[in-house]
Amino acid sequence: MDAMNTAHASARTADLVVEGGRLVTPEGVREGTVVIRDGRIDALLAVGEPAPAGPRLDAVGRYVLPGLIDSHVHFRTPGLEYKEDWEHGSRAAIAGGVTTVVDMPNTRPAALDETAVRDKARIVEGRSWVDHRFHIGADPDRPGLLASLDPAVATSAKVFMAGHHTAPVVFREDRQLAAAFEAAALGDVQLVLHAEAQHVFDLLDGWRGEPRSYAGYEPHRPRTGAIVAVARVIELVRTHGTRAHVLHASTAEEVDLLTAAAAEGLPVTFEVTGHHLSFTDADTCRRGPRTRLSPAIRAQRDQDRLWEAVLTGQAATAGSDHAPHTVEEKNRPPAEAPPGLPGVQELAGALWTGLMARGAGDDADGAARHLARLMGSGPADLFRLPGKGRLAVGADADLALLDPDHRWQLAADTIEAKCGWSAYEGWVFTGRVTTTVKAGRPVWDAGSGFAGTPAGRLLPPAPAATGRSLSVAGR
């Protein structure tokens, strides 16, 4: 920082000064101090530069990350609040260092048009600890809606190519899917896809029937469905130029296809999830419903390929697919138990633990950059979240302080999700978010818990977007 900026940064009292941490910035990782004023990062000071007066937050021994983004959550509001709700889900997010989420549309009623998204925004107003946006649901009966989607309402749309317990609509006909890709390209809408082929699963179900055990669950929803669906997605992207983001990639073959398509210049990206990076099909055989997921947890070789995608930068985002169900629901017989688990609180810890186990402990700064990309700049860029995802002057003052060496276990009484359980209970994590700062205010600390009240806001459209405002106050 030059002398003029240093003088400005130290001229007036700060709202918060975060001292002594390792700052994970777009330019690299370095020791320094974060100066916060008016809810934004006002300065990033090097060691030795004078800091202004103001409240102090000690970050010695910790990485200072941008507030993390989880672009794949199901907070179940409206209609399914008995499983999860925005207060519990957003508290779980804050306890995991996540300060911004993008919520999925498969609620009751489903958010399949602008009116439904506006209604959801009104319900959430005043109840959220985190800033938020919404994925609208692509409707196979009305795919043309995406061509004129107001970016103030949503800039992304969820496409279900296969069904499960909470999927509101499924694209079963190829003409409907092609129409959605065409309309999304016209409306500059980012598609996010559950890319498994329902017709493949229907064919296999007619031959094999329902699974009778958890050992039979992965073969019941095999990699074949994912590979076929991803190949079709790539073909449609090539035809229409649509931006497509494949969610929860689960197989080595998907990753290879999507990486090759991106190398060709096609606008395709993909997400990895904490549970596909943390568990294998052997865990589902042992743990049963807690890791019954859709897409299914795959083999060790698939997990290895997903980690390769993380470490080489091929994966664009990491999401939790936070999708709680009650214990009673999960304990149904294998053919009836709904897929999904809570994960927004656990995601950053699971990623960091995996990075350390995969050799990144020799380059912790590099691991911190991976985390800041997958849960920061990656989703911020993809989903047009202004002010988010980067530790930079002018950005929103959302921070996650990570102790990289802290070893701890997730106990049931620390789970913030409404369902009250986690597949990670008893895990020994390496690395923990110890403090979360939202809009320049510490809102959670591992020692003292929550502070303040929910003050999350609906994020405005990115600066380049035009159109009507999404007002949660207007009626």
Is-contact 430 405, C-beta < 8 A?
A: yes
What is the pLDDT, as a whole number, of residue 8? 53
What does the pLDDT average to over 227-254? 98
Q: Give me the amino acid identity at 37.
A: R
Structure tokens at 9: 């940064």
What is the pLDDT, as a whole number, of residue 58? 98
Query: Percentage of the chain surpassing pLDDT 70?
Result: 95
The CA distance from 391 to 402, in Å, is 14
Is-contact 339 294, C-beta < 8 A?
A: yes
Number of Cβ within 10 Å of residue 28's Cβ equals 9
Instruction: Encode 168-177: b = buried (16+ Cβ within 10 Å), e = exposed.
Output: bbbbbeeebb
Count how many residues are written for the chain.
475
- Calculate ∠ Cα 22-26-27, nearest 5°: 80
φ, ψ dihedrals at 280, nearest 5°: -125, 175
Residue of 350, 415, 313 lying closest to 84 (CA atoms): 415
Q: Residue 464: is its pLDDT beyond 60? A: no
Q: Where are the alpha helices (DSSP H) in 288-357?
A: 300-311, 327-330, 347-357
Number of Cβ within 10 Å of residue 333's Cβ equals 11
Distances (CA, A) of 11 to 16, 32, 40, 384: 14, 18, 16, 33
In this prediction, residue 297 has a pLDDT band, given cuts at 50, 70 and 90, of very high
**DSSP per-residue letters across 15-75:** SEEEEEEEEEETTEEEEEEEEEETTEEEEEEETTS---SS-EEE-TTSEEEEPEEEEEE--
In this prediction, residue 220 has a pLDDT band, given cuts at 50, 70 and 90, of confident
The CA distance from 379 to 117, in Å, is 20
In this prediction, residue 10 has a pLDDT band, given cuts at 50, 70 and 90, of low
The CA distance from 325 to 84, in Å, is 8
SS3 240: helix
- Calculate ∠ Cα 304-302-193, nearest 5°: 120
Residue of 90, 94, 25, 36 lying closest to 64 (CA atoms): 25
Structure tokens at 149: 């989607």
- pLDDT tens for 78-98 read 999 999 999 999 999 999 999
Is-contact 167 160, C-beta < 8 A?
A: yes
What does the pLDDT average to over 386-399? 98
- Selected residue with higher pLDDT from 408 and 167: 408
Number of Cβ within 10 Å of residue 34's Cβ equals 27
DSSP summary character for residue 454: -
The CA distance from 157 to 160, in Å, is 10
- pLDDT tens for 326-339 read 999 999 988 888 99
- pLDDT tens for 134-166 read 999 999 999 999 999 999 999 999 999 998 767
Structure tokens at 340: 């999904």
What is the pLDDT, as a whole number, of residue 135? 98
**Longest distance between any two alpha carbons in the chain, whole Å:** 74
The CA distance from 276 to 283, in Å, is 11
Number of Cβ within 10 Å of residue 82's Cβ equals 12
Q: Evaluate the omega torsion of the peptide bond into residue 78 and state whether it is cis, within 30 degrees of 0.
A: yes
pTM of the model: 0.94
In this prediction, residue 57 has a pLDDT band, given cuts at 50, 70 and 90, of very high
Backbone φ/ψ region at 97: left (φ over 0), alpha (ψ -120 to 50), beta: left
φ, ψ dihedrals at 288, nearest 5°: 65, -125
Sign of the torsion angle spanned by Cα atoms 92, 96, 97, 102: negative
What is the pLDDT, as a whole number, of residue 407? 96
- pLDDT tens for 100-146 read 999 999 999 999 999 999 999 999 999 999 999 999 999 999 999 99
Coarse DSSP helix, strand, coil percentages of the chain, rounded to the nearest 5 percent = 35, 25, 45
Instruction: Encode 419-438: b = buried (16+ Cβ within 10 Å), e = exposed.
Output: bebbbbeeeebbbbbbbbbb
The CA distance from 161 to 233, in Å, is 10
Is-contact 191 215, C-beta < 8 A?
A: no
What does the pLDDT average to over 6-27? 85
What does the pLDDT average to over 228-251? 98
- Selected residue with higher pLDDT from 168 and 44: 44
Q: How far is C-alpha 73 from the geometric centre of its chain's CA atoms?
A: 6
Residue 45's beta-bridge partner residues? 33
**DSSP per-residue letters across 155-187:** SEEEEESS--TT------SHHHHHHHHHHHHHH
